[in-house]
Structure 1
Amino acid sequence: MGLADVARLAAKLTEVVDVDHRHGGTQALENGAAHLVRQALDLQQHGSASTRVRGKLYALAAAFASSALWAATDGHRFTAAEQHLHQAVTLAGLSADPAARYHVWGLAGGLYRQLGRHTDALAAADVNRALSINRRDPLFASLAHVSTAVHHADLTDRTAVLRSIGHAQDSLDRADPSLPRPPWIRFYDQAGLDLFSLMSLLTLGQWTQAEARAHHALAVLRHRPGLARNRYRVTIHLARAQLEQGALEAATTTIATIPPNTWHGRTGRLIAAFTTRTTALSPDAAETRAWNAYARHHGIPTRRV
C-alpha cells in the first residue's frame, strides 16, 4: 500500500461528499459510503504500509463511516446511524487525525438532536469545540460555534445562541479559505453559517431575523450551484419564516420553487412540516388549498389540523 491507494480513496470521498451536497442522505449514499469503509479496511488488513499511510487510510475510513452516519441520520434511519457512529468514533481514534475526530463529533451532535437528546447533542458539540483543530484553523472553530448555537436553541437559551453565532462569525472572518481541508467541510462558508444561524432563529421563533438570514444565505448560494441540498433547505426555512409572519402567498410561492424530485429525506420531512403548519394557520385560504393539492400530487401527505 502507498499514497496512490490513499489518493484513489480520497477521490472517492470527494465523490461521496458531492453526491450528498446535491441529493442529501439517501439510502444509496449510505450503502455506498459503508462499502467504501470496508474497502479502506480491507487495504489495512491485506497490505503493508508505513504508519503515515495507515493513519491516512484510517482517516478515510472514518470519513466514509461519517458520511454513512450523516446519510442515515438525514434519512431518519437511526438504528443504522448509531451503528455508523460507533464505527466512525473507533476509526477516527485509530487515525489520530484531529479533523476526523472533529467530523465524527459534529455529526454525533446532529444525530442526538434528531433523537431529541438535546443535552447529549450539546455535550457532543462541547467535545467538538474543545478539539485542538479549532485553535489551528478558524474555519473549524466557526462551524463548531454555529453548530453549538443550534443545540442552545433547542434548549431555549437565546443568550447562548446569539453568543455562539457571534463567535462563529468572528472566526469565519479570520479563516483563510484557500487552506487545504477535507472535502466534507468545503460546504462551510458564509452561507453555511447563515443556514445554521437560520435554524437556530427559527427554533427560537425569531421570524424576521430568520428571514433576513435566509435571504443572505441564498444570495451566497447562487454562486455555489453544487450545494443544491443546502439551497433547498434554506428555501424551506425562508418559506416557514414568511408563513409565521402571515405572508402566506409569499411562503407558498417560495417553497414551490423546490423541485419535487428532491422531496425525500429531511427535505421531504421539512416540506411536510411546512404543509401541516400552513393548514393549521390558514386552513380555508385559497393558497393553502392550492399548495395542499400540489403537495399531495407530489407525494406529501396533507391533513386538516
Structure 2
Amino acid sequence: MADVGGHALCVAGELEADLRTVRRLYADRGRAPGQDRGGPRVEQALHTAISGLHSSAGWAAYDSGDNATSRLHHAAALQSGILAKDGHAQARAWADLSVQSRAEGRHREALTINRAALESRQARQDPRIAALLHSRLAIGHARLGDHGACARSLLAAQKAHDRFDTTAPPPPWLRFLDAAEIAGLAAIAHRATGRLPDAEKATAQALRLLGPSMHRNRAYYGIQLAQLQLAHSDTTSAKATAATVDTTAVSSPRITQRLATVHRHLATA
C-alpha cells in the first residue's frame, strides 16, 4: 500500500453512515409531492451520498486486496460526484484514484490525476484537500525519481497544513488528515527517494502524533518504522518496534501481510 489516506477512518462506520443517508434520500424522493424524482436538490444529495458510499467501498475492497473492484468503486464515486455537482465528492474521488493508480504501478497516471485535482476550485480553496494532494504528489515525484519536485511538493503540503482552519470541522473523509498523517506521507516520499534517515525520523514523528483511536494508521506506520530499521540493519530496534504493532483492531489483509513479512525477515536476520 502506498499510503494510508482515507483508511484512517473506520470504513465499516462510513459505509453504514452512507447507506443510512442513501436510504433516507430514497425515502424523501418517494414522499416529494408533485415533483419527478423528488426535485433536483434531493437528486444531487442522493448522488453525493452514493459517491461517498462508492469511495468507502473502494477503500474496503483495496484493503482486502481486490484492486479491480476498488478501481471500479472509485471511478463510480467520481461519476456520482459529477452528477451531484459536488466538488468535494469529486476531489475525494480524484484523490482516491491517484492512490489506486500509484498502488498499481501507474506512477505517471497518478501524477497526472494529482495535478489535475490540484487545479480544482476545491483544492485552491480548501487547504486540507491541497495538503493531501500535495503530499501524494510528492510521493508520485519520488517514485519517478524527481527529488526536487518531491521536495517542493512536501513544502507545499506543509504550507497548506499550516493554513488549516481548526475552528471548523473537516468533512468526515478528511478527518484523518492531521500533522501525524502529513508526517507519515512525507516519510513515504522520503523512503521512495532513498532518504531513509529522513523517512525514519518522519515515521517516528507520525507515530508520536497519532491519536489513540487511529489503530490502522498506528499499525501501518509501526510496520513502516520496523522496515526502515531493518533496511539499515538495526535488527534490535526493528524487533522492538514490530513487537509493539497491534493489528487486533485492524481489519486489513494488506497490513497483516506486511507485518508477517517483517517477522519473516527478522527471523532470518
Q: C-alpha deviations, 1:193-233, integer Å up to 9, x for none?
A: 01111111122221110111012111211xx2221111111
Q: Distance in 2 between matches of 1:263 and 1:92?
A: 27
1:162 is matched with which residue? Answer: 151
Shift of 1:100: 0.3
The answer as to whether partners of 1:41 and 1:58 remain within 8 angstroms in 2 is no
Q: Distance in 2 between matches of 1:201 and 1:271?
A: 21
Match of 2:231 among 220, 244, 249: 244
Structure 1, unmatched stretches of 5+, are 1-16, 286-305
The answer as to whether partners of 1:40 and 1:58 remain within 8 angstroms in 2 is no
Q: Distance in 2 between matches of 1:165 and 1:230?
A: 20
Q: Distance in 1 between matches of 2:264 and 2:146?
A: 27
2:219 is matched with which residue? Answer: 232
Alignment of 1:22-171 (within 5 A): 39=23, 42-43=26-27, 46-48=30-32, 49-171=38-160
The answer as to whether partners of 2:75 and 2:97 remain within 8 angstroms in 1 is no
Q: Distance in 1 between matches of 2:226 and 2:251?
A: 15
AA aligned to 2:94 is: W
Q: C-alpha deviations, 1:113-142, integer Å up to 9, x for none?
A: 221111111111112211111221212111
User: 2:155 aligned with 1:201, yes or no?
Assistant: no
Q: Distance in 1 between matches of 2:105 and 2:13?
A: 24
Q: Which 4+ runs in 1 deviate beyond 6 A?
A: 28-31
AA aligned to 1:259 is: D
Q: C-alpha deviations, 1:81-128, integer Å up to 9, x for none?
A: 122123211110011111100100100011112211111111111122
Q: Percent identity?
A: 29
User: C-alpha root-mean-square deviation of aligned residues, in Å?
Assistant: 2.7
The answer as to whether partners of 2:138 and 2:154 remain within 8 angstroms in 1 is yes
The answer as to whether partners of 1:263 and 1:271 remain within 8 angstroms in 2 is no
Tell me the TM-score normalized by structure 1. 0.76
Q: Secondary structure at the match of 2:69?
A: helix
2:207 is matched with which residue? Answer: 218
Q: Distance in 1 between matches of 2:87 and 2:265?
A: 42
Q: Distance in 2 between matches of 1:185 and 1:132?
A: 17
Q: Do the aligned partners of residues 54 and 274 (structure 1) sit closer, same or farther apart at CA in structure 2, a change above 3 Å counting?
A: same
Shift of 1:179: 2.0
Shift of 1:22: 6.3
Shift of 1:73: 1.6
Q: Do the aligned partners of residues 123 and 22 (structure 1) sit closer, same or farther apart at CA in structure 2, a change above 3 Å counting?
A: closer
Q: Do the aligned partners of residues 122 and 40 (structure 1) sit closer, same or farther apart at CA in structure 2, a change above 3 Å counting?
A: farther
Q: Distance in 2 between matches of 1:266 and 1:43?
A: 38
Shift of 1:29: 7.5
Q: Distance in 2 between matches of 1:247 and 1:205?
A: 17
Match of 1:178 among 144, 167, 170: 167
1:298 is matched with which residue? Answer: none
Q: Secondary structure at the match of 1:177?
A: coil
> How many residue pairs are counted as aligned between the two chains?
259
The answer as to whether partners of 1:73 and 1:114 remain within 8 angstroms in 2 is no
2:35 is matched with which residue? Answer: none
Match of 2:252 among 251, 264, 267: 264
AA aligned to 1:254 is: T
Q: Distance in 1 between matches of 2:25 and 2:105?
A: 33
